[in-house]
């Protein structure tokens, strides 16, 4: 058995070394166990984006890669709570924050389970990236599986809440997914962590904005890469903000 095989992180569960640093630079950075302690002294800890990557991944562009951004193929997922605006006008802030925390936690667990990262959180919404920094060959399918887990786990958690203040308004999650080329890197002079930008990100966001509670809207590009994962999914032609031509999407609806 070669040394590389010995230190390579597992593809699921709690990795012993940073999977992002391994996949991107083939460098074994310990993130768990006794070997990780010296690295913590230098501020290298597990990332909040995914517990199987480290903070080097967040700051690797200017300091390690010596460039501000790189081109990559990725799948982008956006998720948002439907009915949240109405709910925020009806209940107290403390309880509202508990609902947001529950949503963010359930989404993160689903995304991490399929090798994605929670790149941004925006109140009652979030953005996830698949295939960077953890390389996942079937990243389109991974994003869809994560979305299905999000819908299942969030529906169960939100359904368990006693929300009499909804007054008939649905409370659920809408998800949008698109795959394509993105620019990933550090685009701010005052923040060191990375993000993704480009048309792929914009389209994923637009799809999410059209998803109803319990729906996952998947672009044709993602569907083509995912193959059997979207077999039988309904098609929907969408008119999206900022786009001249209608966009064809596949629709997966949460089933109880």
Measure the CA–CA gap between 222 and 128, rounded to whole angstroms: 15
pLDDT at 2: 33
Q: What is the pLDDT of residue 12?
A: 55
pLDDT value of residue 58: 85
Q: pTM of this prediction?
A: 0.91
Does residue 219 carry a pLDDT above 60?
Answer: yes
* Least confident window among 25-39, 74-88, 150-164: 150-164
- pLDDT at position 66: 67
- What is the per-residue pLDDT for 171? 79
For residue 204, give the 3-state DSSP assignment: helix
Distance CA 112, CA 215 (A): 20
Q: What are phi and psi of 246, to 5 degrees?
A: -60, 150
- Is 133:52 a contact under the CB 8 Å cutoff? no
List the beta bridge partners of residue 235.
250
What value does the mean pLDDT of the chain take? 87
User: What are the tokens at 241?
Assistant: 């903000």
> What percent of the chain has pLDDT above 70?
87
> Which pLDDT belongs to residue 85?
81
Residue with tokens 């010596």: 66
Pairing state between β 215-219 and 195-197 = unpaired
Mean pLDDT, residues 44-51: 96
Domains of the chain in start order, with CATH, are: 3-66 (no CATH), 70-253 (3.30.70.1230)
Over 90: is that where the pLDDT of 165 sits?
no
Q: How far is CA 100 from CA 50, 129, 161, in A?
A: 19, 20, 12
What's the pLDDT at 5?
Answer: 32
Q: pLDDT (tens digit, 9 = 90+) per residue, 104-119?
A: 999 999 999 999 999 9
pLDDT class for 10, splitting at 50, 70, 90? very low
User: 71: which strand partners?
Assistant: 183
Average confidence (pLDDT) over 70-87: 91
Residue 175's region, left for phi above 0, alpha for psi from -120 to 50, else beta, is: beta
Using DSSP bridges, classify how beta strands 215-219 and 172-185 pair: parallel, antiparallel or unpaired: parallel
């Amino acid at each position: 058995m070669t040394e590389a095989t010995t230190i390579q992180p597992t593809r699921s569960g709690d990795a012993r070394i940073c999977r992002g640093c391994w996949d991107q630079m083939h460098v074994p950075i310990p993130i768990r166990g006794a070997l990780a302690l010296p690295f913590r002294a230098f501020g290298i800890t597990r990332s909040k984006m995914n517990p199987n990557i480290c903070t080097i991944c967040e700051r690797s562009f200017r300091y390690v890669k010596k460039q501000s951004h790189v081109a990559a193929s990725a799948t982008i997922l956006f998720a948002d709570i439907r009915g949240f605006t109405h709910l925020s006008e009806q209940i107290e802030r403390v309880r509202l924050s508990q609902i947001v925390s529950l949503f963010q936690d359930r989404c993160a667990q689903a995304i991490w389970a399929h090798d994605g990262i929670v790149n941004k959180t925006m109140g009652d919404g979030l953005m996830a990236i698949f295939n960077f920094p953890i390389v996942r060959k079937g990243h389109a399918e991974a994003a869809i599986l994560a979305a299905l887990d999000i819908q299942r786990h969030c529906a169960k958690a939100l359904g368990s809440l006693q929300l009499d203040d909804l007054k008939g308004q649905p409370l659920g999650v809408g998800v949008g997914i698109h795959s394509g080329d993105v620019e990933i890197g550090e685009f701010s002079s005052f923040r060191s962590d990375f993000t993704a930008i480009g048309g792929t990100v914009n389209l994923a966001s637009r799809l999410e904005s059209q998803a109803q509670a319990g729906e996952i809207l998947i672009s044709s590009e993602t569907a083509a890469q995912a193959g059997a994962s979207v077999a039988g999914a309904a098609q929907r032609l969408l008119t999206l903000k900022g786009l001249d031509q209608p966009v064809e999407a596949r629709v997966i609806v949460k089933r109880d």
